[in-house]
Structure 1
Amino acid sequence: MAVVRLHMFCLVVAIWVCVSSCGASAGQDAGPVVSTVSGKVNGMITHTTDLPDKPIYTFLGIPYAAPPVGDLRYRPPEPAPPWEGVREAVEYGPYCPQNLTMLSQLEAPIAFGEDMTMNEDCLTANVYTPTVDPDASLPVLLWIHGGGLMCFYGSPPGWEAIAAYQDVVVVSFNYRLGVLGFLSTGDENMPGNYGFLDQVRAMEWVKENIQNFGGDPERVTIFGESAGAISVSYQLLSPLSKGLFQRAISQSGTWKTFPVNPQPLAVTKIIAENAGCESTEDTAILTACLKEKSPEELLDAFQALGPMAYLVPVVDGTFLTTDPSDLMKNGEINTADYLLGFNNHEGGWMGLSSFLEGDPHDGITQEEFVKLLKTTMSFIHHSNPNLDKMVDAVVAEYKPTNPDDPMSILYQFTHTSGDSYFAAPTILVAESHTDAGSRVFLYENQYRPSIHPNKPDWVGCEHGDDLFMLWGFPFLEATRTVKAINYSKEDEEVTLEMMAYWANFARTGDPSDSTGGPTDSPSLPTWPQYTPDNPVYMKLDVVPTTEVGYKPEKMKLWNEVIPQIAAEKKDEL
């Protein structure tokens, strides 16, 4: 299931890129010059459609680390080298090397990143701010992009909206992906987690520079969706990022969604062989050979593994000192304020055709449900002899309301995916962070944007739907060949609410506390804190409401019953 879900991550974010390509700002002009530790940058002025008198100063493509090329490949990032004069910061930097096969299959009038270049020298950041007054001390939101740790980039248009409406500074950035960001030999020669180390370096860059962009370096919130949310969760477990941020937001994903690979060397050897490296047990020689290969050769070598191949984080002893489950069990957690949640139908519709043999509109039989479930669960549990027992437990819990209706059966299957990979990991992590003493706020996003007219009515808010709102698309003007989208008044209302909740949290650590925020910010229902005694969560919708205890039996199934069955298997071996 992790593999199927990985490709859905890339598919979803690519579609958002195609949609967001029509979401450039209403206008842009020459902007101010700001100093960074590496040199001066000259940005531009942009606006949203509804706030033409509210300029947003935008700086694009600023190097936050040295190019990770040559001997710096497969090594922690180093600070960006200085430059002379004023650097023009009006274009996004290249996106990091990645396989585009899946993305190129999209039936969209604008291809993924068609107006950008791909280059290994890709570690750049973008800043969106309503002021460049060093004394402004505005809260900072540092965005970590999604894409399964394999694809996408940190430059979607849209951050002008939340910056303008909520008086916050937003920073986005690229980080190394896939075969260049998460390959590992499992030892000191190629420890791995380079994409995560890039994220730490981006946090350091923010701490060093953001004051000159109007931001408060002591009030930084890291936030992300999908693999970005997973990254945030891992950062909360790393000693390297401690003190570099004060708050965190995970949207649709935690470390449990992408658990670590305990034996990364096996796949690295195969990739090295595919790339033409001589077979060897000496990981130093293997690493040296991989450093000599071009990014294209490495991408081809990885792609040769087939569509089921993927790379995940590892325990490297530096960024991640031990398995995340042990860190959580021991309370070794960065106790930042934490807002996290998921959409109510993460596995709803997009991507169903990638693993169904028939037409999703026809539904599936109960036999197909069991077969699909066994296949997807085997991606994580592999050759576990108790796999059938696990599948039986899931089937017993996810009974269709109408056993004779193929669509009712498919509906239940979509929720096994969303619950196991998003909801249950989020609940598990929320509980661990509350136990460690963090303030936690939990949500389920129930709002389905109005731009999905061709999806069945039974599909709710699926993976990535929250991006339309958070990126403020209803308030950005269409400027390219992609057709404009007619957002509804409800879309606009939910967008303003979500941006306010997120910005309030970045300012105060409480999503419903608007202290210090804009006077015209929307009035929001109170969002109670999640605690073991009161596991309350916010149901985000046109009118947000609260509920206590999210799907307790299903969460128990994924977080307790299934692991217990798996442990029984291990004890027997």
Structure 2
Amino acid sequence: MVTLGILVAVAVLLETVSATSLGAVYTEGGLVEGKNIRLGFRRHMDIFKGVPFADMPGRFEKPKRHPGWGGVLKATEFRPRCLQPNLISTDSRGSEDCLYLNIWVPHGSSVAKDLPVMVWIYGGAFLVGGSMGANFLDNYLYDGQEIAERGKVIVVTLGYRLGTLGFLSTGDSSMPGNYGLWDQQAAIAWVHRNIRSFGGDPDNITIFGESAGGASVSFQTITPHNKGLFKRAISQSGVSLCPWAVNRNPRRFAEEVALKVNCPIDDTMAACLKMTDPVQLTMAGFIDMNSSPDSPIVNNLVLAAVIDGDFLPDEPSNLFHNAADIDYIAGVNNMDGHIFSGVDFPSINSININTPLEDVKRLLAAHTKEKGAAGYQNAYSTYSSAWDNPSNPSQTTIKKTIVEIGTDYIFLVPIQAALYLHASNAGTGRTYSYVLTEPNRMGGLLKPYPSWMGADHADDLQFVFGKPYTTPIGYWPRHRDLSGYMIAYWTNFAKTGDPNNGDLKVPATWPRFTGDGAQYLEIHNKMNKNYIKQRMRLRYVNFWTSILPNLPTIASE
């Protein structure tokens, strides 16, 4: 017994003495030191929070390199998120000084070396969000620890400018826009230049993101400015082709903002905006949350990327040749549109209030108005043809159809279109498609979620970031299974470009997406080989990408 106690004590002592840590790390700006934590026997992790990747940005200017610092920068606290409205849009939060990133580095029995790197770009409609994500009792949504430890990868999360300061554009060279995208690009380039010092492989970087972050990932793959900076990319619930991802009339919104902050709307508008208080500018970019079936809320999301002739030299659909050698995963949650549909049609979440069939018709008319009656009639026949009783559909059918229309139009169809474009332009790049169908955890339990709910927008985040492991009390064992599967697919892909091959076993072999078979993986806690499907919602993809665009346009804005 004594001998065993001595052996354990010696083992603990040896591990303590040989604790694996990077210590102070040399970067181009100076030395940084994070926090080292013990995860288990011979398992440690270095966590760096608040590492500057660029200088404090000039107002409506591209980011510039950080001038550096003396001594050792203690990187142990998250820095403020970029300036944005608070959750109820009554005030602002965050700072203009926000171009920082966070790094999680896992170590085994020796210090990390040549690990694959995964760089996260958060979502939030280009209006809100932060590199650390939402916080509940010091448990941050985008804490990279579970992905890094389980997948043996380095995880990086970055900050970028949002709202007016990140995406306002006058539509000309005086204020071209896309500042938030340039921030992301500066962070990716910084990681490429510096990650070797942290034990990462600069030639094996994967960027991944969700919603506006997924669209951002897509933009970063198709811009000509990123050649050679990263190898792979994952877009969750957002791509550059989404109807909310590009603003084709930025001048109009810039003039609205200018009038709110008492700037002229002539040649001096840009100069005046650049001198305006940043909080005023941020609050002036507030998006109107009022919507109706005839004017869905997605149409209000006007702060977005612009075709500026520089970051985006052309329409996104014409730039996919730039992603020819990038391995790409893109996918959708099967009820991604619910979050928007619930704002436009609150009755869909109520058991006691009926949703009139007229609402389906009004929503389809709103999304097809440029094509007039022919557009609407084609849309209505496409969606009603799947109903059991087209002349008198049930309430569940009506409510689910509204969510399906929202999901198709806002997310699923543009994501499928991006996958086809990626595959058809591919050189060495591989293409993979998925749909997450895991029912929302609130479905059938709590309002405002009906019992038929599938995976809502952002439901994937908790599983990718391992929350069922971090906070087990909030989840069932099936959720831990699902989280393990997603971390395995994502990190295997980051290592090898093939989600099936890496250090972690997966429950089903995920086939590549090609223009012919259009195969995809349905992600669920009960996955097996039967979860390999093909031609996702083909009838509806065909309607939105082929039938509707070929109808004559009767009116344009």
TM over 0.5: yes
| Aligned equivalent of 1:144, options 112, 116, 121 | 121
Structure 1, unmatched stretches of 5+, are 1-28, 105-111, 478-483
Corresponding position of 1:301: 284
**Contact 1:63–1:124 at 8 Å: present in 2 too?**
yes
The 5 A counterparts of 1:56-205 are 56-68=45-57, 72-102=58-88, 118-131=94-107, 136-156=113-133, 157=140, 158-205=143-190
Counterpart among 30, 34, 46 of residue 25 in structure 2: 34
SS of 1:564's equivalent in the other structure is: coil
Provide the rounded CA distance (Å) in 1 between the counterparts of 2:490 and 2:78. 25
Shift of 1:439: 1.0
- Once the two structures are superposed, residues 41-83 of structure 1 have per-residue CA deviations (whole angstroms, 9 ceiling, x without a partner) of 12113467xx576322110011111101xxx211111111200
Query: Is residue 388 of structure 2 the alignment partner of residue 401 of structure 1?
Result: yes
Counterpart contact for 1:131–1:214, Cα < 8 Å: no
Give the superposed CA RMSD. 2.5
Deviates more, 1:418-427 or 1:302-311: 302-311
Structure 1 position 360, deviation (Å): 2.6
Contact 1:41 1:89 in 2 (8 A): yes
SS in 1 for 2:478: helix
Letter of the 1:335 counterpart: D
Is 1:506 aligned with 2:491? Answer: no
| 172 and 188 in structure 1: CA distance in 2 versus 1, 3 angstrom threshold | same
The structure-2 alpha-carbon separation of the partners of 1:269 and 1:219, relative to structure 1 and needing over 3 Å to count, comes to: same
> Could you tell me which of 432, 437, 444 is aligned with 1:441?
432
What is the DSSP-based 3-state SS (H/G/I as helix, E as strand, rest coil) of the residue aligned with 1:236? helix
Is 1:467 paired with 2:461? yes
Residue correspondence of structure 1 range 39-58 to structure 2 within 5 A: 39-46=30-37, 54-58=43-47
Q: Structure 1 stretch 362-371 or stretch 186-195: which is displaced more?
A: 362-371
Distance 1:202 1:176 in 2: 12
- The answer as to 2:414 corresponding to 1:425 is yes
Of 183, 200, 211, the residue aligned with 2:196 is 211
Q: Distance in 2 between matches of 1:363 and 1:252?
A: 29
Match of 2:470 among 466, 476, 483: 476
**Residues 315 and 321 in structure 1, CA contact (< 8 A), matched pair in contact too:** yes
1:486: how far off? 2.3
Matched, 1:489 2:469: no
* 1:233-382 to 2 correspondences below 5 Å: 233-257=218-242, 258-280=244-266, 282=267, 285-303=268-286, 308=300, 310-328=302-320, 331-348=321-338, 350-356=339-345, 358=347, 360-361=349-350, 362-375=353-366, 377=367
For 2:512, the equivalent position in structure 1 comes to 529
Give, in angstroms, the shift of residue 259 of structure 1: 4.3
1:522 Cα deviation after fit: 3.1
Q: 1:321 to 1:491 in 2, by over 3 A?
A: same
Higher RCO structure, 1 or 2 (CA under 8 Å, sep 6+): 1
The equivalent position to 1:392 in structure 2, one of 377, 387, 398, is 377
Q: Quick one: distance in 2 between partners of 1:448 and 1:33?
A: 45
Give SS of 2:209's match: strand
Q: In the TM superposition, what is the alpha-carbon distance from 1:445 to its structure 2 partner?
A: 1.1
Question: TM (normalized to structure 2)?
Answer: 0.85
Within the candidate set 399, 403, 412, 2:401 is matched to 412
TM-score by length of 1: 0.83
Counterpart-to-counterpart distance in 2, 1:142 and 1:213: 14
Once residues 398 and 119 of structure 1 are traced to their aligned partners in structure 2, the CA distance between those partners, rounded to angstroms, is 46
Q: Secondary structure at the match of 1:267?
A: helix
Instruction: Name the SS of the counterpart of 1:441 in structure 2.
Output: strand
Cα distance in 1 for partners of 2:100, 2:132 equals 10
User: How many angstroms apart in 1 are the aligned matches of 2:96 and 2:484?
Assistant: 37
Structure 1 residues 222-250: Cα deviation after superposition (integer angstroms, max 9, x where no partner): 10011111011111110111211100000
SS of 2:234 mapped into structure 1: strand
Structure 1 Cα separation of the partners of residues 111 and 270 of structure 2: 44
Q: Is the 8 A contact 1:254 1:429 kept in 2?
A: yes
Q: Distance in 2 between matches of 1:317 and 1:234?
A: 13
Counting matched residue pairs gives 505
Helix, strand or coil for the counterpart of 1:232? helix
- Residue 277 of structure 1 deviates from its aligned partner by 1.2
Query: For residue 253 of structure 2, what is the amino acid of its counterpart?
Result: V
Q: 1:30 to 1:243 in 2, by over 3 A?
A: closer
Greater shift in the superposed pair: 29-38 or 206-215: 29-38
* Displacement after TM superposition at 1:101 (Å): 4.7
1:314 counterpart letter in structure 2: V
Tell me if the contact between 2:349 and 2:450 (Cα under 8 Å) persists in the aligned partners: no
**Structure 1 residues 53 and 294, CA gap change in structure 2 (3 angstroms):** farther
| Change beyond 3 A, Cα 1:332–1:523 | closer
Indicate the SS of the match to 1:466: helix
TM superposition shift of 1:419: 1.2
Q: Which residue of 2 aligns with 1:13?
A: none
SS at match of 1:569: coil
Q: Determine if contact 2:247/2:302 at 8 Å carries over to the other structure.
A: no
Distance 1:456 1:415, change over 3 A: same
Is the deviation greater in 133-142 or in 496-505? Answer: 133-142
Alpha-carbon shift at residue 446 of structure 1 (Å)? 1.5
Q: Give the distance between the partners of 2:21 and 2:497, measured in 1 at CA.
A: 35
User: Cα distance, 1:353 vs. partner?
Assistant: 3.9
Give the Cα separation in 2 of the matches to 1:276 and 1:179. 15
Alpha carbons of 1:126 and 1:236: their partners in 2 closer, same or farther (altered >3 Å)?
same
Q: 1:18 corresponds to which residue?
A: none
Supply the distance in 2 between the matched residues of 1:310 and 1:354 (Cα, whole angstroms): 17
Secondary structure in 1 matching 2:418: helix
Equivalence for 1:569 = 554
- For residues 370 and 45 of structure 1, the distance between their equivalents in structure 2, rounded to whole angstroms, comes to 57
Unaligned runs of 5+ in 2: 1-19, 134-139, 291-299
| Percent of residue pairs identical | 32
Distance 1:342 1:301, change over 3 A: same
Contact 2:440 2:454 (C-alpha < 8 Å) held by counterparts: no
Maintained 8 Å contact 1:182/1:194: yes
Q: In 2, distance between residues paired with 1:47 and 1:401?
A: 57
CA distance in 2, matches of 1:533, 1:309: 34
Provide the rounded CA distance (Å) in 2 between the counterparts of 1:309 and 1:508: 36
CA contact (8 A) 1:364 1:406 kept: yes
Q: Is the 8 A contact 2:335 2:454 kept in 1?
A: yes
User: Quick one: distance in 2 between partners of 1:200 and 1:143?
Assistant: 12
Moved over 6 A (4+): 132-135
2:434 counterpart letter in structure 1: Y
Alignment-derived partner of residue 10 in structure 2: none
